[in-house]
Amino acid sequence: MRISGLEIIHLRLPLVSPFETSFGAVRETETLLVRAEAEGREGWGECPASAAPSYSSETVHTARYIITEFLAPLLRDADIASPADLPALFRRIRGHNMAKGGVEMALWDLTAKIKNVSLSRLIGGSRSEIPTGVSIGIQPTPDDLLRTIEGALAKGYRRIKLKIKPGWDTAILETVRRRFGAIPLMADANAAYTLEQTDHLMQLDRFDLMMLEQPLDEDDIVDHRLLQEKMKTPLCLDESIKSPEDGRRALDLGSCRIVNIKQARVGGTSRAIRLHDLCRDRGVPVWCGGLLESGVGRLHNIALASLENFTLPGDISASERYYQEDIVDPPVRLTDRGTILVPDGAGIGATIRVDMVERYCVGRSDVL
């Protein structure tokens, strides 16, 4: 397969409500769509790098530059047998996983459409629906948080994830447990703590959490091992795992007992599948995280989460959780069973709403 066209579309999407984590609040999200053409078909991917280098060192601006100046030229004369070839093709470009992932996702969608199969089937997915949870940001008050959790549970979400930070952790978790009892609950720190706060973090053991996600530095594996040795709560690594090799090192060290897989973070679908397989073979459960993606990235995540070892509810919530209108039709919806159906149509299984893309577009360019 030879790629005949590659376009980058920069979107700015308003959120239904502000989303706050330990590194700040956002009221709108910026993302890059990647549209690839070949054999008269088109495929869509997403690079959810955001406007600021907070969760990741990448931004929509750095990703756009890397795709334009370095990744697209590598595709110009390449004969792609499979999107799984891209990590090797892009290997000479160090880092920039989200930029690479956005391009690769577009080619996976394109390939599935050319073959007239669903993306889930193409990558080996085995589920027709996936259980899902919801990620709830830091709220203005504890009462606001309780109301938000109540609303999420009423809609059927199977797991609640709370963003925490110093000053918004033990008391908040105690309030939630007192109000909602033994609901499936986890906490995500987004690297807000240090190893010097181990005694404080050990207090979280009393809340019977499913896991504590990324409490320490975003590039750390060693200190997480030291913390995991002292905590009974399973640690889950997110930001620290940027490749399957990082995953192997973390598991070898005993730095975590659960892994959050985000294909944008690890450099695309192929590397996400390798990480999934590694964890499966080690008996380590995984779940699919999210980055405020539009429906394009969300549908790619759904296909990924249909793989067999995604045994824990992920962060793939319904479109309405973040956006009044999504850019895909149909939007992602939650069933009354607290699950999301895996599309069985060709590719990602939805139509791109060109009108919505045009409404929220702040820049676009043909790069191939």
Q: Which pLDDT tens digit goes with each residue over 308-341?
A: 999 999 999 999 999 999 999 999 999 999 999 9
Task: Please check whether residue 351 lies inside any domain of the structure.
Answer: no
Using CA atoms, how far apart are residues 286 and 262, in angstroms rounded to an integer? Answer: 10
> Which CATH number belongs to the domain containing residue 65 in this structure?
3.30.390.10
Q: Are 83 and 107 in contact (CB under 8 A)?
A: yes
Task: Please check whether residue 226 lies inside any domain of the structure.
Answer: yes
Task: Please check whether residue 173 lies inside any domain of the structure.
Answer: yes
Task: Specify whether 94 is located in the same domain as 139.
Answer: no
Question: Quick check: 82 pLDDT over 80?
Answer: yes
Using CA atoms, how far apart are residues 251 and 231, in angstroms rounded to an integer? Answer: 16
Task: Specify whether 175 is located in the same domain as 271.
Answer: yes
Strands, E, within 179-256: which ranges? 185-188, 212-213, 235-237
State in Å, rounded, how far the first CA of the chain is from the last one: 15
DSSP state for residue 330 in the 8-state scheme: S
Task: Specify whether 172 is located in the same domain as 249.
Answer: yes
Task: Please check whether residue 249 lies inside any domain of the structure.
Answer: yes
Write the burial class of residue 332 (CB in 10 Å: 0-12 exposed, 13-18 middle, 19+ buried): buried
Q: Mean pLDDT throughout 118-144?
A: 96
Token pair listed for 237? 């690594």
Task: Specify whether 84 is located in the same domain as 149.
Answer: no
pTM, two decimals, is 0.95
Task: Specify whether 271 is located in the same domain as 141.
Answer: yes
Nearest CA among 15, 80, 61, 90 for reference residue 271: 90
Task: Please check whether residue 364 lies inside any domain of the structure.
Answer: no
Q: Give residue 211's pLDDT band: very low, low, confident or very high (50, 70, 90).
A: very high
Collapsed DSSP state (helix, strand, coil) of residue 216: coil
Task: Specify whether 161 is located in the same domain as 301.
Answer: yes
User: Under 8 Å CB-to-CB from 115, ≥6 apart: which residues?
Assistant: 122, 346
Average model confidence (pLDDT) across the chain:
96
State the catalytic residue, choosing from 100, 113, 161, 163. 163
Complete DSSP assignment for 44-92: EEEE---SSSSSSS--HHHHHHHIIIIIHHHHHT---S-GGGHHHHTTT
Q: Give residue 17's pLDDT band: very low, low, confident or very high (50, 70, 90).
A: confident
- Split into its structural domains, the chain has a count of 2
Q: Are 227 and 216 in contact (CB under 8 A)?
A: yes
Using CA atoms, how far apart are residues 23 and 25, in angstroms rounded to an integer? Answer: 7
Task: Specify whether 45 is located in the same domain as 134.
Answer: no
Collapsed DSSP state (helix, strand, coil) of residue 338: coil
Task: Please check whether residue 361 lies inside any domain of the structure.
Answer: no
User: Under 8 Å CB-to-CB from 154, ≥6 apart: which residues?
Assistant: none
Task: Specify whether 94 is located in the same domain as 170.
Answer: no
Task: Please check whether residue 362 lies inside any domain of the structure.
Answer: no
Q: Mean pLDDT throughout 210-218?
A: 98
In terms of pLDDT, which residue wins out, 97 or 19? Answer: 97
pLDDT of residue 83: 98
How confident is the model over 243-264, as pLDDT tens digits?
A: 999 999 999 999 999 999 999 9
Q: Mean pLDDT throughout 226-243?
A: 98
Question: Quick check: 20 pLDDT over 90?
Answer: no
pLDDT of residue 184: 97
Using CA atoms, how far apart are residues 77 and 99, in angstroms rounded to an integer? Answer: 19
Using CA atoms, how far apart are residues 16 and 21, in angstroms rounded to an integer? Answer: 16
Instruction: Mark whether 232 is an active-site residue.
Output: no
Tell me which of 116, 139, 170 is where a domain ends. Answer: 116
pLDDT of residue 162: 97
Task: Specify whether 128 is located in the same domain as 244.
Answer: yes
pLDDT of residue 24: 76
Q: If residue 258 lies in a helix (H) or strand (E), which one and from where to where?
A: strand 258-261
Instruction: Mark whether 242 is an active-site residue.
Output: no
Q: Give residue 18's pLDDT band: very low, low, confident or very high (50, 70, 90).
A: confident
Question: Quick check: 54 pLDDT over 90?
Answer: no
> Which CATH number belongs to the domain containing residue 310 in this structure?
3.20.20.120
Q: Give residue 159's pLDDT band: very low, low, confident or very high (50, 70, 90).
A: very high
Find the domain containing 252 and state its range.
122-341
Tell me which of 116, 131, 161 is where a domain ends. Answer: 116
Task: Please check whether residue 366 lies inside any domain of the structure.
Answer: no
Q: Mean pLDDT throughout 257-285?
A: 98
Question: Quick check: 273 pLDDT over 80?
Answer: yes
Question: Quick check: 23 pLDDT over 80?
Answer: no
Share of the chain above pLDDT 90, in %: 95
State the catalytic residue, choosing from 161, 165, 242, 262. 262
Task: Specify whether 33 is located in the same domain as 126.
Answer: no
Task: Specify whether 149 is located in the same domain as 262.
Answer: yes
Q: Mean pLDDT throughout 331-357?
A: 96
Q: Are 244 and 221 in contact (CB under 8 A)?
A: no
User: Under 8 Å CB-to-CB from 119, ≥6 apart: which residues?
Assistant: 108, 109, 112, 299, 300, 303, 343, 347, 348, 349
pLDDT of residue 21: 83
Task: Specify whether 130 is located in the same domain as 103.
Answer: no
Q: Which residue has the tokens 């376009």?
A: 7
